[in-house]
């Protein structure tokens, strides 16, 4: 199992880094699978060393308690995607996420889903269930704006409980902005003004086009309400950030 986190302010202890949330998610999976506990102090020390050299860390844990931590850079085209959005395509329902409640090392289905839509010049795949309901992208959670509120699929449909998803939910609630957690049916998605996906590395990336068998859907990647969520990642302090811990 693994988790991938972005280092903010060059510190594991930054509230936006969400170090404890990432550890809690790993520990929850360890207990569920009855794996051996790792040396959490050594994990922290190793991550602290690498955080001075890399903005992104991936921590992988193995059943016998061993850990493997690697660092990497942010995607080179991240700023462009954040500004102008990306094109997505609907994948086949057979590419469902394995054990969606846990971030396991078996990402083959998500990888195959993303690879299957590259012929359509899509940068991301949207995973769907057998009824055609949208679940998440191959790398992140979905968000949409319509009827003066945000929408996101609920965890009950079988999606990864993303840490960034949880952080954004708390942030929007703190701003007294309503969020509807409802299944994204084929009918619902046609009514969104804007949609995006989020994860701990890319923050939020708008989606301007979604290719599907019945034709393409177009959304506004420059929607002003994206700024509500971007404000969260631009914060360098404040009481709200510290309550997330």
- Residues 141 and 33 placed together within one structural domain of the fold: no
- Residues 116 and 160 placed together within one structural domain of the fold: yes
Identify whether the C-beta of residue 125 lies closer than 8 Å to the C-beta of residue 138: yes
Over the stretch 102-161, which tens digit does the pLDDT of each residue have? 998 888 899 999 999 999 999 999 999 999 999 999 999 999 999 999 999 999 999 999
Over the stretch 39-97, which tens digit does the pLDDT of each residue have? 999 999 999 999 999 999 999 999 999 999 999 999 999 999 999 999 999 999 999 88
Give residue 238's pLDDT band: very low, low, confident or very high (50, 70, 90). very low
Q: Identify the pLDDT of residue 88.
A: 98
Q: Identify the pLDDT of residue 107.
A: 85
Give one word for 121, left, alpha or beta, with left for phi > 0 and alpha for psi -120 to 50: left
- Residues 152 and 220 placed together within one structural domain of the fold: yes
Q: Identify the pLDDT of residue 235.
A: 73
DSSP code for 119: G
- Residues 217 and 168 placed together within one structural domain of the fold: yes
Quote the domain boundaries for residue 6. 2-73
- Residues 111 and 164 placed together within one structural domain of the fold: yes
Identify whether the C-beta of residue 160 lies closer than 8 Å to the C-beta of residue 103: yes
Q: Which residues pair with 115 in a beta bridge?
A: none
pTM of the model: 0.93
Q: Identify the pLDDT of residue 22.
A: 97
Task: Decide if pLDDT at 220 tops 90.
Answer: yes
User: Is 241 within a domain?
Assistant: no
Quote the mean pLDDT of the chain.
Answer: 93
User: Is 9 within a domain?
Assistant: yes
Which residue among 13, 42, 73 closes a domain?
73
User: Is 18 within a domain?
Assistant: yes
CATH number, domain with residue 23:
3.30.470
Q: How does 84-112 read in b/e, with b if 16+ C-beta sit within 10 Å?
A: ebbbbbbbeeebbbeebebbeeebebbee
Which residue among 24, 57, 73 closes a domain?
73
- Residues 110 and 147 placed together within one structural domain of the fold: yes
- Residues 47 and 60 placed together within one structural domain of the fold: yes
Q: What is the mean pLDDT of residues 209-214?
A: 94
As for how many domains the chain has, the answer is 2
Beta strands in the chain (DSSP E): 2-6, 56-61, 67-72, 86-90, 124-128, 134-137, 141-146, 149-152, 179-181, 194-199, 203-212, 215-218
Identify whether the C-beta of residue 172 lies closer than 8 Å to the C-beta of residue 204: no
């Amino acid at each position: 199992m693994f988790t991938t986190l972005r280092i903010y302010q060059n510190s594991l202890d930054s509230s936006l880094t969400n170090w404890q949330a990432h550890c809690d998610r790993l520990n929850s999976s360890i207990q569920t699978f009855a794996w051996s506990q790792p040396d959490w102090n050594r994990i922290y020390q190793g991550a602290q060393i690498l955080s001075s050299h890399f903005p992104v860390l991936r921590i992988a844990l193995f059943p016998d308690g061993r850990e493997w931590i690697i660092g990497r850079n942010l995607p080179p085209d991240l700023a462009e995607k954040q500004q102008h959005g990306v094109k997505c395509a609907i994948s086949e329902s057979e590419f469902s996420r394995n054990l969606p409640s846990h971030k396991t090392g078996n990402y083959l289905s998500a990888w195959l889903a993303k690879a299957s839509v590259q012929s359509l010049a899509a940068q991301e795949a949207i995973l769907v269930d057998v009824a055609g309901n949208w679940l998440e992208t191959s790398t992140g959670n979905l968000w949409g704006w319509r009827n003066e509120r945000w929408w996101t699929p609920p965890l009950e449909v079988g999606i990864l409980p993303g840490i960034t998803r949880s952080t954004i939910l708390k942030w929007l609630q703190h701003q007294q902005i309503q969020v509807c957690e409802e299944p994204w049916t084929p009918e619902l998605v046609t009514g969104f003004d804007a949609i995006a996906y989020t994860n701990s590395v890319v923050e939020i990336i708008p989606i301007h086009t979604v290719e599907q068998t019945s034709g393409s859907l177009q959304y506004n990647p420059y929607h002003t309400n994206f700024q509500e969520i971007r404000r969260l990642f631009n914060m360098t302090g404040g009481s709200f950030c510290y309550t997330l811990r």
